[in-house]
Amino acid sequence: MLNKNYMNKKSMIYEKKELVGIIVIDRPNFKNAINDQMVSELTDIRNEINRDNDARVVIFTGAGQEALSVGTDEKEFSSNEGKLRRIERLSLASILGTFKCPTICAINGDAFGQGFELGLACDLRICSKNSRFAMTQVTDGEIPWDGGTQRLSRLVGKGKALELILTGETIDAQEAFRIGLVSKVVPSDELMVAAMDMAREMASKGPIALRYAKEAIHKGMDLTLEQGLRLEADLYLLIHTTKDRAEGIQAFREKRTPKFEER
């Protein structure tokens, strides 16, 4: 069993403050480049949070102020390693996309290549004023492979996604905000404060409601409008069977803060 409040592994750190989980890529000397160790470590953390509802909101970030991540650490892999094998070993964004609770990516510095794809896999993104973003894969004769072609187009639209991916252009924080890639830009030394403020505000809400709202939005993107409306209605009815919903109504009537138990 993991220490639910703090865990320091080779490539990642996890700690829980109040109802907020904080996951940090801890390779600042390598600009948080992604290695295969991260996959097993993030999987362990994800499983623990999803199983025990240990945190109602998760912040994902990188150590230091230079980068969330500059992408895949190519030095760890031999030139003759199969590309399929690399995807199997290094698909980190696919794990981030399976957290049941909402996730916030706090981006301090560069998010390049696969590092950019990690940010896209989170539900919300805020960044520091010094942040830069680029899908650099085409420069190396490759394409984004950890969800970038699919998530970026859904977030900023097909046209802008095509422009960023096909040109490999680097954009700054203000441009990222303008196109809707991030929801907030703050000074570097205020990034984690802003992320924690956002996370605490979300964590004060009904935890089951947070999960169901996230599920409705993400799954609804792959459905027709009619099917999405049915999913929304089903989840709405389901949440009315929970004790948390009853507690929310009672707290409103009594003009007090609700005490949610995730039941």
Q: Model confidence over 172-230: pLDDT tens digits? A: 999 999 999 999 999 999 999 999 999 999 999 989 999 999 999 999 999 999 999 99
Instruction: Taking residues 237-254, report their average pLDDT.
Output: 78
CATH number, domain containing residue 147: 3.90.226.10
Q: What is the pLDDT of residue 90?
A: 79
Structural domain boundaries enclosing 221: 207-254
* 212 and 90 within one domain: no
- pLDDT exceeds cutoff 60 at 42: yes
* 219 and 185 within one domain: no
59 in any annotated domain: yes
Q: What is the pLDDT of residue 176?
A: 98
* 18 and 47 within one domain: yes
* 112 and 61 within one domain: yes
- pLDDT exceeds cutoff 50 at 1: no
Instruction: Taking residues 148-156, report their average pLDDT.
Output: 96
Q: What is the pLDDT of residue 2?
A: 45
112 in any annotated domain: yes
Q: What is the pLDDT of residue 10?
A: 84
* 221 and 114 within one domain: no
21: exposed, middle or buried (C-beta count within 10 Å: 0-12, 13-18, 19+)? buried
Instruction: Taking residues 72-96, report their average pLDDT.
Output: 71
* 94 and 48 within one domain: yes
259 in any annotated domain: no
- The H or E element spanning position 164 is helix 158-167
* 174 and 123 within one domain: yes
CATH number, domain containing residue 229: 1.10.12
* 84 and 10 within one domain: yes
Q: Minimal CA–CA distance to 111: which of 167, 21, 176, 157? A: 176
Total structural domains within the chain: 2
Q: How far is CA 47 from the centre of its chain?
A: 15
51 in any annotated domain: yes
Instruction: Taking residues 29-54, report their average pLDDT.
Output: 90
* 126 and 49 within one domain: yes
pTM for this structure? Answer: 0.91
Q: What is the pLDDT of residue 6?
A: 61
1 in any annotated domain: no
* 155 and 219 within one domain: no
DSSP string, 60-77: EEESSSSEEE-SB-GGGS
- pLDDT exceeds cutoff 50 at 252: yes
Listed range (62-71, 197-206, 236-245) with the worst mean pLDDT: 236-245
Between residues 26 and 9, which one has the greater pLDDT? 26
Mean pLDDT (the chain) is 89
45 in any annotated domain: yes
* 191 and 70 within one domain: yes
- pLDDT exceeds cutoff 70 at 86: no
Maximum Cα interatomic distance, the chain, rounded to a whole number of Å: 66
* 89 and 25 within one domain: yes
Q: What is the DSSP letter of 23?
A: E
137 in any annotated domain: yes
- Measured between alpha carbons, how far is 38 from 71 in angstroms, rounded to an integer? 12
260 in any annotated domain: no
Summarised one tens digit per residue, pLDDT across range 100-147 is: 999 999 999 999 999 999 999 999 999 999 999 999 999 989 999 999
